Amino acid sequence: MELNVTDQGFPESLDGLKPLQKAYNRVAFFKSAFATSMVLTPDGAKPLGSSGSGFAWEWRTAANYHPERYLAFLTGALNKFNQMDGAETKYQLN
């Protein structure tokens, strides 16, 4: 799901985005440029991982610009989910 917080705001039902919302509200620059990828639990309550900043000037280090780093970010989030109490089914990336 893509969420444009500049236009749509932060949904109240996605508690897992609260850390991002705090950062977004603290830094005025973020109102004009704020990009990242987040993985949340299926209910949206908890963050499982963030790809970090998507700023163009961070292209050397940001996972968003390197497929192998982005896959590692997704794999880490999936592993965290699979290790959570109550995760009935173990999932894997294909």
**What confidence tens digit (pLDDT) does each residue in 8-58 have?**
889 999 999 998 899 889 988 887 777 888 999 999 999 999 998 877 788
Distance of alpha carbon 15 from alpha carbon 12, whole angstroms: 7
Q: List, in order, residues 6 or more apart from 31 with CB less than 8 Å away.
A: 6, 24
Global confidence as pTM: 0.80
For the stretch 46-88, pLDDT in tens is 999 999 887 778 888 889 889 999 999 999 999 999 888 666 6
β-sheet bridge partners, residue 49: 39
